[in-house]
Amino acid sequence: MEHFISRWLVLTIAAGVMVTLLPGMHAVGEPPILGIGAFALFLALINASIKPIVHTIALPFSILSFGLIALIINWLFMELASWLAISLFDVGVTIDGFWWSVIGSLIMAIVSGIVGTVIQD
């Protein structure tokens, strides 16, 4: 449980940086950190539960498509996390399109790596 909470914290920081840098991402809720935290919570739950299974099943298709399937899966999971957060808590992060999600995924991966290293996640 401690690992999940630290992972959620790292994803919350990464999502905050992503929303701050990208004009295609918008935090919904007052204060905005609630929306970012809810989005990161559902993203952490998805990453811990179904993402490894889906990526493993899609691996052959991802190889054949030079990674395009992996981008689509990441986009779908970000949209799912956004939808769940907004539907259940009325706060979250809205994503304006596929490419904003791709750029957001890259930013989140970089920031998560840096923050995870700093706090020894």
Give the pLDDT band (50/70/90) at residue 2: confident
**Is the pLDDT reported for residue 69 higher than 60?**
yes
Ranges assigned E (strand) in the chain? 25-28, 92-95
Question: C-alpha distances in angstroms, 69 versus 33, 44, 45, 56, 83?
Answer: 31, 20, 21, 12, 21
d(CA 5, CA 93): 20
Per-residue pLDDT tens digits for 71-95: 889 899 999 999 999 999 999 999 9
For the question of whether the overall pTM of this predicted structure is more than 0.85, the answer is: yes
Distance between CA 50 and CA 56 in Å, rounded? 10
Question: For residue range 92-112, what is the model confidence (pLDDT) as tens digits?
Answer: 999 999 999 999 999 998 999
55-60 mean pLDDT: 92
Helix (H) or strand (E) holding 80: helix 68-89
